[in-house]
């Protein structure tokens, strides 16, 4: 039986968050982004979008389109607080919630919706409850796979609800422009258009070997996606107890080493705190690097002794980064502590010679963690 996968996407999240904090911004043209000359729009309110302002647009261009637009800086700490409320709300519907980014989640609703006779009414109620509890707006897509659910949630914004069944694919999915397809980037779409691939349906029905050559190994995956098959496994953190990780997307692609290092520091602190909270240690440290062209690589190293301290996680993450970074612009970085197990506290009789150095080293690491925790919060 096909699964029921829901993708929930918060509408204009950063802009909405600012309106929640400052209601006087409601109904106004507003963008969240950088203030520098090279700064870009991270999120635009729907009022700003009505004036032609879009995400990833330079701030100076947004000002040209609307001289009265309100420009606010990004406040990740505040947005993460609201995002946590969002995820907690969804976990009230299903234990299988996969956080895709700060403003979107996949939820396995196979159990929750198996006896629902009117899914639109059910999902509308979910939308309304989310707004009542958090003041956040969302669009919802429901389908048998994660790809289709994500495509569905993007079809009606804001506050839309779209259901795609496999029998609906040719009617609802295939007519969409190829650049609207998740997984087809801004560089790939023009290449496909030169090969007369203008819609998703064109891609589904092509026999042109040049298309397969351009897409490479990704070709077979895409063909499965657009026919309603592929990944339908929602992986929640609870399902993956051998890993504790965190990742963040920069609002502007960057190759600024200090900015990247600061993000690794923040992520390392988050992973360390979560590992210590759950009394977990790991022996493998992995980092993720996603470049501006969306190419993603991971790098990992396994150590002999389990660890969960901030100082070791951050130091080892930066070591991996320094060994593998060659200066490209980066879109996202991540840190994960893997091969983890619950900390076992053993009652061991130590000799006088066993105590001195280990206790001093442990205290030093603990002091470093406490210091970094204070300066980063």
The CATH number linked to 258 is 3.30.1490.100
Identify the pLDDT of residue 239: 57
Q: Does residue 126 form part of some domain?
A: no
154-164 mean pLDDT: 96
Average predicted confidence (pLDDT) for the chain: 86
Predicted pLDDT at 38: 62
Would residue 97 count as lying in a domain?
no
Query: What is the per-residue pLDDT for 230?
Result: 87
125-141 average pLDDT score: 98
pLDDT for the residue 293: 74
Residue 304 lies in a domain: yes
pLDDT in the model for residue 7: 98
Give the phi and the psi of residue 361 in degrees, each rounded to 5.
-65, -45
* Percent share of the chain, pLDDT over 70: 87
Output the pLDDT for position 252: 76
User: With bands split at pLDDT 50, 70 and 90, how would you rate the model's confidence at 37?
Assistant: low
pTM more than 0.75: no
CA 182 to each of CA 39, 178, 188, 216: distance values in angstroms, whole numbers, following the listed order:
25, 9, 11, 17
Distance CA(225)–CA(230), nearest Å, equals: 6
* Domains held by the chain: number: 1
**% of the chain at pLDDT higher than 90:** 63
130-143 in b/e burial notation, b at 16+ Cβ within 10 A? beeebebbbbbbbb
Question: Which range, of 92-96, 114-118, 285-289, 373-377, averages the lowest pLDDT?
Answer: 373-377
The answer, yes or no, to whether residue 62 has pLDDT greater than 70, is yes
pLDDT of residue 35: 61
Name the pLDDT band for 101 (thresholds 50, 70, 90): confident
Name residue, tokens 């990833």. Answer: 56
Tell me the mean pLDDT in the region 160-181.
97
C-alpha–C-alpha distance, residues 107 and 86, integer Å: 12
Question: Could you tell me the pLDDT band of residue 371, with boundaries at 50, 70 and 90?
Answer: very low
Q: How confident is the model at residue 48 (pLDDT cuts 50, 70, 90)?
A: very high
The pLDDT value given to residue 363: 41
Provide the pLDDT for residue 241. 57
pLDDT for position 278: 77
Mean pLDDT of 97-106: 90
Query: Between β-strands 30-33 and 41-44, what pairing exists: parallel, antiparallel or unpaired?
Result: antiparallel
Over residues 128-136, the mean pLDDT reads: 97
Q: Given this model, what pLDDT does residue 277 score?
A: 79
Would the pLDDT of 70 be above 60? Answer: yes
pLDDT surpassing 70 at residue 272: yes
- Domain membership of residue 130 (yes or no) is no
The residue range of the domain holding 266 is 240-376
Within a domain: residue 253?
A: yes
Average pLDDT over residues 25-53: 89
Q: How confident is the model at residue 353 (pLDDT cuts 50, 70, 90)?
A: very low
pLDDT over 60 (residue 225): yes
pLDDT band per the 50, 70, 90 thresholds, residue 267? very high
Residue 258 domain-assigned (yes or no): yes
Asked whether residue 296 is assigned to any structural domain, the reply reads yes
Which pLDDT belongs to residue 358?
Answer: 36
Q: Quick one: three-class SS letters along 345-368?
A: CCCCCCCHHHHHHHHHHHHHHHHH
Helix (H) or strand (E) holding 279: none
Residues labelled as active-site residues: 104
* 353-358 contacts, C-beta under 8 A, 24 or more apart: none
Task: Find the mean pLDDT for residues 220-236.
Answer: 90
Residue 233, in any domain of the structure: no
> Residue 291's pLDDT is what?
86
193-200 average pLDDT score: 97
């Amino acid at each position: 039986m096909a699964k029921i996968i829901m993708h929930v996407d918060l509408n204009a999240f950063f802009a909405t968050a600012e309106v929640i904090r400052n209601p006087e911004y409601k109904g106004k043209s507003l963008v969240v982004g950088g203030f520098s000359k090279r700064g870009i729009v991270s999120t635009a309110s729907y009022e700003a979008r009505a004036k032609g302002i879009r995400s990833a647009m330079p701030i100076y261009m947004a000002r040209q389109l609307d001289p009265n637009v309100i420009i606010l800086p990004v406040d990740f700490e505040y947005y993460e607080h609201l995002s946590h409320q969002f995820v907690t709300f969804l976990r009230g519907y299903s234990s299988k919630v996969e956080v895709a980014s700060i403003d979107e989640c996949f939820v396995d609703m196979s159990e929750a919706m198996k006896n629902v006779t009117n899914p639109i009414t059910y999902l509308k109620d979910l939308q309304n409850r989310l707004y009542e509890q958090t003041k956040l707006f969302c669009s919802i897509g429901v389908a048998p796979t994660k790809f289709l659910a994500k495509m569905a949630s993007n079809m009606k914004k804001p506050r839309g609800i779209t259901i795609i069944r496999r029998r609906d694919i040719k009617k609802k999915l295939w007519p969409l422009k190829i650049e609207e397809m998740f997984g087809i980037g801004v560089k790939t779409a023009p290449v496909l258009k030169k090969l007369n691939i203008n819609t998703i349906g064109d891609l589904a029905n092509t026999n042109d070997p040049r298309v397969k050559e351009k897409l490479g190994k990704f070709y077979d995956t895409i063909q499965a996606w657009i026919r309603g098959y592929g990944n339908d496994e929602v992986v929640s953190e609870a399902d993956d107890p051998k890993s504790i990780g965190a990742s963040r997307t920069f609002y502007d692609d960057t190759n600024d080493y200090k900015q990247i290092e600061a993000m690794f520091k923040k992520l390392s602190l988050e992973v360390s705190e979560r590992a210590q909270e759950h009394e977990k240690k790991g022996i493998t440290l992995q980092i993720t690097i996603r470049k501006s062209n969306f190419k993603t690589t991971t790098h990992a190293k396994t150590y002999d002794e389990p660890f969960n301290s901030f100082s070791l996680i951050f130091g080892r993450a930066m070591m991996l980064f320094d060994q593998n970074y060659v200066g490209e612009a980066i879109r996202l970085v991540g840190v994960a502590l893997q091969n983890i197990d619950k900390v076992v506290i053993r009652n061991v009789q130590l000799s006088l010679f066993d105590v001195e150095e280990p206790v001093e080293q442990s205290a030093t690491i603990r002091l470093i963690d406490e210091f970094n925790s204070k300066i980063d919060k």
